[in-house]
Chain A
Amino acid sequence: MKSFGLATVCAAALLLAAAPLAYAETIFVSNEKDNTITVIDGDTMELVTTIETSRRPRGIILSPDYKELFVAAGDGNIVDVIDTSTLEIIRQLDSGPDPELMDVDPEGKIIYIANEDDSMVTIMDLKSGEVFAEVPVGVEPEGMAVHPDNTLTAATSESTSMAHIIDNETFELVANVLVDSRPREAKWTKDGKELWVSSEIGGTVSVIDPATWEITHKISFEVPGVRPEQLQPVGMDFVKDEALIMVPLGPSNRVAVIDTKTKEVVDYILVGQRPWHGEPSADGKRYYVANGLTNDMTIIDLDTMKATKSVPVGRLPWGVAVMPGKTAAQ
Chain B
Amino acid sequence: MVLLRLTSLRFPRALEARLSLATLLIVALTFASSPNVAQEEEAPPAAAQAKPAAKSMTVVYLGKEYQEPLPLSFAEKVITDKGIQGARQKLKEANQAGGFLGYSFELEETILPEDADVVAKAKALLAAGNRYFIADLEPDDLLAVADLPEAKDAIILNIRSSATRLRQEECRKNVFHIIPDYAMRADALAQYLILKKWPNWYVMRRDTPEDQDYLAQVQRAAKRFGGKIVEDHLYDLPPGARNLDSGHQQIQAQMALETERSPDHDVVWAINSDDDFGDYLMYRTTRPRPVVGTQGLQATAWDKSYTESGGMRFQRAIPRIANRPPVERDYTAWLALRTLSESAQKSGSVEPETVKAYMLSDDFRLEAFKGQALSFRTWDHQMRQPVILGGGTRVPVGTSPQEGFLHPKHLTDTLGFDEPETKCKF
Query: Are B34 and A167 closer than 8 Å at their CB atoms?
Result: yes
Q: Which residues of the other chain, A, contact B146 by a CB distance below 8 angstroms?
A: none
- The answer on a CB contact under 8 Å between B28 and A218 is no
Cβ contact within 8 Å between A225 and B8: yes
How many chain A residues touch the partner (CB < 8 A)? 59
Interface residues in B15-41 by Cβ distance below 8 A to A read: 15-20, 23-31, 33-38
State the CA gap A263–B15 with chains docked (Å): 12
A47 on interface, CB distance cutoff 8 Å: no
**Which residue from B34, B312, B346 sits with its C-beta under 8 Å from A178?**
B346
How many B residues, CB 8 Å from partner?
Answer: 49
Complex interface: chain A residues within 8 A of B48 (CB): 135-136, 172-173
Closest A residue to B36 by CB, please name it.
A210
Give Cα A12 to B373, complex, Å: 51
Partner of A174, one of B15, B34, B310, B316: B34
- B17, B310, B342, B410: the one within 8 Å of A158 (CB): B310
Q: Is B273 positioned at the interface, with any CB of A under 8 Å from its CB?
A: no
Does chain B have a CB within 8 A of A177?
yes
Q: Is the CB of A170 within 8 A of B17?
A: no
A215 to B346, CA, bound (A): 14
Q: Does B367 contact A (CB under 8 A)?
A: yes
Binary CB contact string for chain B from 164 to 182 against chain A (1 if under 8 A, 0 otherwise):
0000000000000000000
**Complex Cα–Cα for A221 and B353 (A):** 31
Known: A174-B29, A178-B25, A222-B12. 13 other contacts (CB 8 A): A138-B96, A139-B96, A139-B313, A140-B310, A152-B34, A170-B33, A172-B47, A175-B26, A181-B366, A211-B38, A213-B26, A215-B19, A218-B17
State whether B16 touches A172 (Cβ < 8 A).
no
Cα separation A232 to B26 with both chains bound (whole Å): 24
CA–CA, A160 and B95, complex, Å: 10
- Report chain A residues within 8 Å CB of B365: 180-181, 201-203
The residue in chain A whose Cβ has the minimal distance to the Cβ of B45 is: A172
B373-417 Cβ-contact flags toward A at 8 Å (1 or 0): 100000000000000000000000000000000000011000000
Evaluate contact between A222 and B15: CB separation under 8 angstroms.
yes
State whether A181 touches B367 (Cβ < 8 A). yes
Question: Could you say which residues of chain B place their CB within 8 Å of the CB of A222?
Answer: 12-13, 15
Query: Are B345 and A167 in touch, CB under 8 angstroms?
Result: no
Contacts of A201 in B (CB 8 A): 365, 367, 371-373
**Taking A152-B34, A181-B365 as contacts, is the C-beta distance between A218 and B313 under 8 angstroms?**
no
Chain B residues with CB under 8 A of A161: 97, 342, 367
Does A228 interact with chain B (Cβ within 8 Å)?
A: yes
User: Please, what's the 1-or-0 string for A191-220, where 1 marks a CB less than 8 Å from any CB in chain B?
Assistant: 010000000111110000011111111111
* A151-B36, A175-B37, A215-B19 as given contacts; A229 in contact with B372, CB under 8 Å: yes
Q: Chain A nearest CB: distance from B401 CB in Å?
A: 10
